[in-house]
Structure 1
Amino acid sequence: MTTRRHLAGLLAAAATVPLGLPLARPALAQPATLPEGPIRLVVPFPPGGPNDLVARVLAQKLGPLLDRTVVIENRSGAGGVVGTDNVAKSEPDGRSMVLTSAGAIAISPPLGAPMSFDVEKDLAPITLVALMPELLAVNPKLPVKTLAELIDHAKKNPGKLNFASSGNGSMPHLAGESLRAAAGIDIVHVPYRGAAPAVTDLMAGQVQMMFADIPALLAQVQAGALRPIAIGSKERTPLLPEVPTMAEAGLPGVEADNWYGLVAPAGTPKPILDRLHDAAVRALNDPELRKAYAEQGARPVGNTPEEFRAFIASETKRWGEIGRRADVRMD
């Protein structure tokens, strides 16, 4: 079953669940009362992308757990900053959340992107929802099949290999910069406005290599139009079990997982945040959700707000250092 067909099935099933009849769960001591009306879950990217699909499956499970309709609202722009800013400035009453990303709250701030909100002051972390491994793939005409061969080829052809990304300062861009520094190779960055045109040019041979979220490359890899080289995460993905991690391929210092996390406006009362967190974690442990995420290559997490806040700080430091060393300038 394809991801979209499975997602459609989940959404259809959701329509049959009465809003007043939550899924069975242990009783909570004096649960916080949410305001009446729907809850907005802002997706700061266009419909159809990995972030959007992850959010829609999550929303389908959150509705019954919260006894509310959870409505997806796509507000794209500036690599996720626009949609995240919208929620940062919303009323802190539990009716607005955003499934934000690494780029919006851990990469853009340390690299000097124009920001209209402060991550620490204006956002309340709820939980890290999912990790999305970055896949390194090459045009199949490139005479390499392994990471070692790619590095060797790049060293023999300095400045002649181009690596694409979905934009300056994006996760794929910084993953490529991390590879460049760790391998000591001279490769040229070619930014695009989004993953789709970058993948198109990669298949055409206009660029030779690219990191991207697995869903952006999977169909082309499975069709033989692109050749997978390595996975940026700590673990292999069941979608491409034969593809080694970067560490297994010889570069343990290169790790790249995109990620999506649930946040609310700062000032949201703690009892409400606790209820949103409880529902999110329960949703992320739902077998149907985990199956749908696995079909996209995503790994559900569901940690505490404190753990998520510490994770954001760690990621901000790591990607900020990589970006500054490479003199990355945000668009």
Structure 2
Amino acid sequence: MTTRALRMAAALTALMFMALATASRADEYPNRTVRVIVPYSAGGTPDILLRVVAQALSEKWGQAVVLENRPGGNTIIGTTAVTRSAPDGYTLLLASDGTYLLNPLFYPSLPYSLKELAPVMLLATAPHMFALTKSAPASNVKEFVDWAKSKPGTIMYGSTGPGSHQRLAMENFARLTGIALVHVPYKGAPEATTAVLTGEVTASFNSVATILPYVTSGNMRTLGVASLTRSPLAPEIPTIAEQGVSGFTSQGSFGLFGPANLQASIRDKIVRDITEVLERPAVRKVLEQRGFVIFGGGPKEFEDFIASQSARWARVIKEANIKGE
């Protein structure tokens, strides 16, 4: 055998062992606790989604899947913790669109880059609902718009942060209806919702799952859902679009990331196992009852979703002249 042939054989052998080692690591994953960082306050929509999925994954894997809330800094604190973690699949990030869509649009100098994150999959979306404090003198979109026009720049609304989807949705609603509102940012969805309940602010957008229980109990009102079709959870509540704000939609989306350079075989195993969990009728029923629309797919579908939604909201930000605070 020639020297060249020996070198080629050695290289092929090394590649074979590397492939076997990679497959072995994926087969063994996980062999300890998997930590999923949620960069929001406890009790919000991402928590609701992750707790359902994490419980089923823990049972499937035989290892704990632990949720760790790290709110603050407009999701920056929790997100950067993941970007600095080892790409071994044991530290993941469950984030909403504020992290991977809006922050990059609002803040060009973030302490993290999407290049430092590996998209794994988009788990689900959740249409928003317009929450209104019950003392407000409005019961539909027209009454609210007329009231807001009578006192421009005085009605306050809450959001989950300066660069949040909730803020963008409300500013877009204000632009389309010709009203001026005052923005009050909060740390997370629970705080913003509490502010509407107590009357500290008048309105907010948040998920159907978060708002509907308060509406049903009579502690809060809603002007409608921010989807093109009515929610199956509350078919009696009209959409905002059907009340004259043509085409108006807003939804949260919730995706899973790992650190950049996450091993492809481990990423693929996570996708396969979560997909199997999401396809279980019992899991699907629980999530749909909480207002989620299951998305699924893998990294490519998630990347395509990010690209299309980024383009959409970039146009809204420009047309409404919305600035990150």
Matched, 1:203 2:197: yes
Q: Is 270-279 or 44-53 further displaced after alignment?
A: 44-53
Unaligned runs of 5+ in 1: 1-28
The answer to whether the aligner puts 1:263 opposite 2:229 as a matched pair is: no
Q: Deviations over 1:110-139 (max 9, x none)?
A: 1016522211x2222121111122110223
Post-superposition offset of 1:274: 1.3
Alpha-carbon deviations, 1:53-97, whole Å to 9, x = none? 211111111234445432222222223232222222222222222
Q: 2:41 aligns with which of 38, 46, 57?
A: 46
> 4+ runs of 1 displaced by more than 6 Å?
none
**SS in structure 2 opposite 1:136?**
strand
Describe the superposition over 1:247-296 as per-residue Cα deviations: whole angstroms up to 9, x where unpaired.
Answer: 22222332111111111122122222111111111111122222222332
The answer as to whether partners of 1:133 and 1:298 remain within 8 angstroms in 2 is yes
The match for 2:295 among 284, 294, 301 is 301
The residue aligned with 2:155 is 161
Normalising by structure 2, what TM-score? 0.83
Aligned partner (choices 98, 104, 120) of residue 109 of structure 1: 104
**Partners of 2:90 and 2:194 in 1: how far apart?**
39
Aligned-partner Cα distance in 2 for 1:61–1:197: 28
* Structure 1 contact 111–324 (Cα < 8 Å) conserved: no
| Stretch of structure 1 that moved more, 123-132 or 81-90 | 81-90
Number of residue-to-residue matches in the alignment: 302
Measured in 1, the distance between the counterparts of 2:234 and 2:245 equals: 19
Does the CA-based 8 Å contact 1:133-1:231 persist in structure 2? yes
Q: What is the correspondence of 1:220-235 to structure 2 with a 5 Å cutoff?
A: 220-235=214-229
Provide the C-alpha distance between the structure 1 equivalents of 2:35 and 2:248, rounded to a whole number of angstroms.
36
Question: Over residues 131-168 of structure 1, what are the superposed CA-to-partner deviations in whole Å (9 max), with x where a residue is unaligned?
Answer: 12211022333332222332233334433433222322
CA contact (8 A) 1:107 1:169 kept: yes
Judged with a 3 Å threshold, the aligned counterparts in structure 2 of structure 1 residues 193 and 318 are, in CA distance, closer, same or farther, namely same
Offset of 1:193 from its aligned partner?
3.4
Partners of 2:152 and 2:68 in 1: how far apart? 45
Q: For 1:159 and 1:64, how far apart are their aligned partners in 2?
A: 51
**What CA distance in whole angstroms lies between the structure 2 residues aligned with 1:194 and 1:125?**
23
In structure 1, give the amino acid aligned to 2:278: L
Matches within 5 A, 1:290-329: 290-329=284-323
TM-score normalised over the length of structure 1? 0.82
Q: Percent of aligned pairs with the same residue?
A: 35
With 94-103 and 211-220 compared, the bigger mean Cα shift is at: 211-220
Kindly report the root-mean-square deviation, in angstroms, between the aligned alpha carbons of the 2 structures: 2.5
Name the structure where helix makes up a greater proportion of residues: 2
- Report the 3-state secondary structure (helix = DSSP H, G, I; strand = E; otherwise coil) of the residue aligned with 1:244: coil
Structure 2 counterpart SS, 1:92: coil
Out of 91, 95, 99, which is 1:96 matched to? 91
Give 2:239's match in structure 1, choosing from 234, 239, 245. 245
**CA distance in 1: counterparts of 2:271 and 2:123, whole angstroms:** 10
Runs of 5+ in structure 2 lacking a partner?
1-22
Aligned to 2:17: none
CA distance in 1, matches of 2:65, 2:187: 30
Q: Is the 8 A contact 1:236 1:243 kept in 2?
A: yes
Larger Rg: 2
